[in-house]
Amino acid sequence: MKKFLNLMATNRSFFLFIFLIAMFLVFSFVIPEFSTIYNILNMTKYGVEIGLLAFAETLIIISGGGGIDLSIGSILSLSAMVIGVLAGRLGMNIVLASILGLIAGGLCGAVNGFFVSFLRMPPLIVTLSTMYVYDSLALLIAVDKWGNPMPVSNFPYGYFFIGQQTYFNIPFQVIAIFIPLALILHFLLSKTTFGRYLFATGNSEVVARFSNVPVKKIKFSVYVIGGFLAGLAALIMTSRIASARPDLGAGLNLQAITIAVLGGTNIMGGEGSILGTLMAIVVITALYNGLQLAGISSIWQVGTLGIILIGSAIANIILSRKYSSVE
Amino acid sequence: MEPILKAKKIVKNFGGVKALREVDFDLFAGEVHALVGENGAGKSTLIKILTGVLEPDSGEIEYFGKKLVLKSPREAHEAGIVAVYQEPLVYKHLSVVENIFLGNEIKKKNGNVDWQRERSITRELLKSLDIDPYFIDEPMGSLSTGLQQLTLIAKALNYNAKVIIFDEPTAILTEHEAQRLFSIIERLKEKGVGIIYISHRLEELPQIADRITIMRDGQVMGNFDMNQVTREKIIELMAGHTLIEELKRTPPEYTDVVLEVRNLSKKGMYQDIDFKLYRGEILGFSGLVGAGRSEVMQTIFGLIKPDSGEIIINGKKVNVKDPSIAMKLGIAYIPEDRGSQGLFKALTINFNVTIPIIEQLTKFLGIVDNSREKEIATRYLKWLQIKAPSIYTLVNNLSGGNQQKVLIAKWLATSPKILILDEPTRGVDVAVKSQIHNEILRLADSGISIIVVSSELPEIIKLSDRVIVMHEGRITGRFDKKESITPTNLLNAATGARMVYSRD
């Protein structure tokens, strides 16, 4: 038992896993349709987009020095509008439009990365500013010929498989995009030199500089990767809801950060894992789904997110005071 | 006349380290009493006790004939004992007036701050020190360091200070500012203030000090009237009969120059640095803390960009823009500050040792070859006898000595040709220290060229084949013969005597 509690205190992924099981049991007991295979598989698709953003924040926050991206949802909005306008209004080939949408996301990230890494500006200031700029740009390109920013929905039919197709009830974007990407990112962080450099930079920029770590490149690249992930989330989301709106990413900035932090990413940098963030995504997705099935108003969703975050932080503090032992 | 301040048999231990052993010290009203000694002699500890920052283990302080027990800096302040440090502790965004009256504001009846009175008192304070008070409404941060110091002196006077302690006040002042400070110290003496003056600039002491106390190893080595002691005598007492271990070491053949530095300068850090490093030699860099030695080394390692000068490696002029280039050239730099520069303390030994060479340990696609990594980390763990349960132990959980070994392992793993060690044994116990020394010698024997930067004379003297001494950013001594590398010679150069040379 002591060992179990010790693991709970020191390993965030394990903690979230136990939490998830407990939540599953409660929801299954209260709501019969919750634990059906159909529901479980179906709910996964709602975790994909916010999940990609949370992965982006995980990398960016680990890079340290106050690393954070407040513009991640705005990049999603902008990328979505790029795809929507190019394909829906200008009639560009959808594949090409999608690629350009991804590139737009990467470019937005590169702008953030440039200011943060090469001009050494505080990430909070940079991404707070670009958040507004990207939001405006998304609105700007959404403007139709009558002068109003409007959603675009006339995507070609072939586009929808990304966000709406399922295989044996498993959504396409989960099996073909999200899971492989989670594996790649996990691999990148835990097995490669990039991962080593990222944790080194996040732990201490000075020591990293003294240790021949290409600090600037690393900081720049996490923002670029973050932008790409937001672009990818935009692609999936526009396909799933068959519409591109300039406010798609509204409210997702902070949710993504919250999930990353819930997953054990240290807001001071240098600590975090893809597995932890993944567990947090699963917990939050299941929670939202359970609340919805229980007939609780969706107004409560973000409220519970906040409660879970602070609750898990408190539980963690109590557990680690009592049970974590220094080896 | 009785002294105003008298410290009697002060003892202070930090763990096993005896910082002060029955130190006596006294100060009269209206005198300047200089306090000198090498780094670690116990000056700072004594000052901290006199200003209430530390409490002594035993011994007592007498102040105006009464026993004084200080529990906090604030109590010392209120008693009239004030310290002015080298880097003035000021609130940069507040004005001069606000700084002077912070925590001691003059209030009107309605509770508002009486700015008019505060400002007029500030003006008078500054005028009484012969300073034109034109700047009292400026934010403190916009003043020069010298003026900031003066403001703090004014503040001390406002507290009715009877004892003012100056801790290396001139180290970062210009010549002009230093002269102004001296004339102000004269004014303070006239007011009957007692002054304790700590400085490494021995040459300035005859000008301002009345008496001098010399400390070494936590003891008072001598107390003299300033005009009755020579510079030589002071140095001799500071150096003492330092115990130097003799080593059997065949001196290197001075044939291949691996590194040459020519006229290297960086404003505010160092000037006209010139030296050669030969294959297989140990070159010591001696001097006081802040002499600019670390900055020169960090320049060679590509962390600081010099204003002018050349770095030549194996006969080729190189431009070391960043550490990765330095590493490719075979240079390794082990910084003095383990915590903030050297090691990732929250990460494992394994991570720390292999991070500089991680790119060489990949299979493909940047994937780290864990077995090779483990092999390297384990090898150094054994070689340097690092005491840790495994290579996956967090550095934080190791003792200081073992952390230092991890830091050395980290850079040995890069197979350097030139190894620069900055204070390699600071905060390390005696056993580990001699182990590290043996390691350094073994590396030099294997043909690696080594630069040792150290503020500890015994360490420099024990290890070095040749020694270069720096003082305030300049080279002030070069000693090429083992016989000439003596504590007295090194201290003479380190405290800013004229250029000292000894060459065959």
CB spacing of B367 vs A192 below 8 angstroms: yes
Give the one of B342, B355, B362 whose C-beta lies nearest to A200's C-beta: B355
Q: Which residues contact A110 (CB under 8 A, 6 or more apart)?
A: A220, A223, A224, A227
The answer to whether B411 faces chain A, any CB pair under 8 Å, is no
Give exposure, B290-310, as e/b (b: 16+ Cβ within 10 Å): bbbbbbbbbbbbbbbebeebe
Whether pLDDT at B104 is above 90: no
Instruction: Evaluate the CA torsion angle A72, A76, A77, A81 in order and state its sign.
Output: positive
Residue-level pLDDT at A81: 95
* Mean pLDDT across B211-225: 90
Question: Residue A51's Cα: distance from chain center in Å?
Answer: 4
For residue B504, name the pLDDT band (cuts at 50, 70, 90): very low
CB A69 within 8 A of CB A224: no
Whether pLDDT at B143 is above 50: yes
Query: Helix or strand or coil: residue B466?
Result: strand
* Mean pLDDT across A268-276: 91
Continuous segment of H or E residues that includes residue B453: strand B449-453
Residue-level pLDDT at A82: 95
The answer to whether B431 faces chain A, any CB pair under 8 Å, is no
How far, in Å, CA of B119 to CA of A278, rounded?
A: 61
Whether pLDDT at A325 is above 70: no
Chain A hits for B351, CB-CB cut-off 8 Å, are 196, 199-200
Residue-level pLDDT at B16: 66
Phi, psi (degrees; rounded to nearest 5) at B146: -60, -45
Residue-level pLDDT at B503: 47
The answer to whether B207 faces chain A, any CB pair under 8 Å, is no
The DSSP call for residue A158 is G
DSSP letters for A51-78:
HHHHHHHHHHHHT-SS---TTHHHHHHH
**Residues B244-330+416-504, CATH architecture:** 3-Layer(aba) Sandwich (3.40)
pLDDT tens readout for residues B439-455:
889 889 888 999 999 88
Partner A, chain B 293-322, Cβ-Cβ below 8 Å = 303
Single out the residue of B306, B252, B294 nearest to residue B422, CA to CA.
Answer: B294
Whether pLDDT at B501 is above 80: no
Give the one of B324, B340, B410 whose C-beta lies nearest to A206's C-beta: B340
Q: Which residues contact B502 (CB under 8 A, 6 or more apart)?
A: B478, B479, B480, B481, B484, B489
Residue-level pLDDT at B359: 85
Query: Helix or strand or coil: residue B389?
Result: coil
Whether pLDDT at B10 is above 90: yes
Of the segments A94-108, A149-163, A288-302, which one has the largest average pLDDT value?
Answer: A94-108
How far, in Å, CA of B68 to CA of B161, rounded?
A: 15
CB spacing of A197 vs B351 below 8 angstroms: no
More confident residue, B62 or B487: B62
Cα dihedral: B48, B50, B55, B58 (round 10): 120
C-alpha angle A55-A59-A63 in degrees, rounded to nearest 5? 160
> Parallel, antiparallel, or unpaired for β B257-266 and B308-313?
antiparallel
Question: Å from A186 to nearest chain B CA?
Answer: 12
The answer to whether B399 faces chain A, any CB pair under 8 Å, is no
Is the fold of B5-239 the same as that of B244-330+416-504?
yes
Give the one of A204, A212, A271 whose C-beta lies nearest to B356's C-beta: A212
Whether pLDDT at B249 is above 60: yes
* Mean pLDDT across A265-291: 91
Question: Å from A213 to nearest chain B CA?
Answer: 7
Give the one of B323, B347, B366 whose C-beta lies nearest to A192's C-beta: B366
How far, in Å, CA of B131 to CA of B137, rounded?
A: 15
Chain A hits for B341, CB-CB cut-off 8 Å, are 206-207, 210
A323, two tokens: 């049970």
How far, in Å, CA of B69 to CA of B66, rounded?
A: 10
CB B51 within 8 A of CB B134: no
Whether pLDDT at B63 is above 70: yes
CB A286 within 8 A of CB A269: no
* Mean pLDDT across A99-126: 95
Single out the residue of B219, B207, B166, B172 nearest to residue B51, CA to CA.
Answer: B166
Give exposure, A271-294, as e/b (b: 16+ Cβ within 10 Å): bbbbbbbbbbbbbbbbbbbbbbbe
Sheet holding B194-198, edge to edge: B81-84, B163-167, B194-198, B32-36, B211-216, B219-225
Residue-level pLDDT at A301: 79
Question: Å from B14 to nearest chain A CA?
Answer: 26
Q: Is A40 left (phi over 0), alpha (psi -120 to 50) or beta?
A: alpha
CB B186 within 8 A of CB B30: no
For residue A323, name the pLDDT band (cuts at 50, 70, 90): low
How far, in Å, CA of A112 to CA of A241, rounded?
A: 28
How far, in Å, CA of B425 to CA of B423, rounded?
A: 6
A192, two tokens: 């490669």
**Residues B5-239, CATH architecture:** 3-Layer(aba) Sandwich (3.40)
Place of tokens 């960043």: B322
Whether pLDDT at A179 is above 90: yes
Chain B hits for A324, CB-CB cut-off 8 Å, are none
Residue-level pLDDT at A41: 86
A164, two tokens: 């709406």
Whether pLDDT at A262 is above 80: yes
Give the one of A194, A203, A214 whose C-beta lies nearest to B347's C-beta: A203
How far, in Å, CA of A204 to CA of A184, rounded?
A: 25
Whether pLDDT at B174 is above 80: no
Instruction: Evaluate the CA torsion angle A261, B368, A188, A115 in order and state its sign.
Output: positive
Question: Å from B269 to nearest chain A CA?
Answer: 19
The domains of chain B are located at: 5-239, 244-330+416-504, 342-414
Give pairs for A143-146: CB < 8 Å, separation 24+: A144/A89
Single out the residue of B266, B262, B261 nearest to residue B306, CA to CA.
Answer: B266
pLDDT mean across residues, chain A: 89
* Mean pLDDT across B109-134: 88
The answer to whether B11 faces chain A, any CB pair under 8 Å, is no
B203, two tokens: 């040459």
Phi, psi (degrees; rounded to nearest 5) at A143: -65, 125
Residue-level pLDDT at A326: 42
Closest chain A residue by Cα to residue B370: A191
| Other CB atoms within 10 A of residue B270 CB | 25
Task: Average the pLDDT over each of A226-230, A312-316, B210-214 and give the range with the smallest value.
Answer: A312-316
Continuous segment of H or E residues that includes residue A239: helix A215-241
Q: Which residues contact A151 (CB under 8 A, 6 or more apart)?
A: A84, A142, A243, A244, A245, A246
How far, in Å, CA of B54 to CA of B43, rounded?
A: 13
For residue A324, name the pLDDT band (cuts at 50, 70, 90): low
For residue B386, name the pLDDT band (cuts at 50, 70, 90): confident
Single out the residue of B421, B413, B408, B427 nearest to residue B463, CA to CA.
Answer: B421
Residue-level pLDDT at B498: 55
Single out the residue of A262, A303, A252, A307 nearest to residue A282, CA to CA.
Answer: A262
CB spacing of B351 vs A192 below 8 angstroms: no
Residue-level pLDDT at A327: 36
CB A294 within 8 A of CB A87: no
Which residues share a beta bridge with B470?
A: B287, B475
| Other CB atoms within 10 A of residue B53 CB | 15
Chain B hits for A191, CB-CB cut-off 8 Å, are 367-368
pLDDT tens readout for residues B431-490:
778 888 888 898 898 889 999 998 888 888 889 999 999 988 889 889 988 888 888 888
Question: Å from A158 to nearest chain B CA?
Answer: 34
Whether pLDDT at B500 is above 90: no
> Parallel, antiparallel, or unpaired for β B449-453 and B418-422?
parallel
pLDDT mean across residues, chain B: 86
DSSP H helical segments within B301-369, as ranges? 323-328, 349-354
Phi, psi (degrees; rounded to nearest 5) at B177: -65, -40
pLDDT tens readout for residues B289-310:
778 899 999 999 998 999 999 9
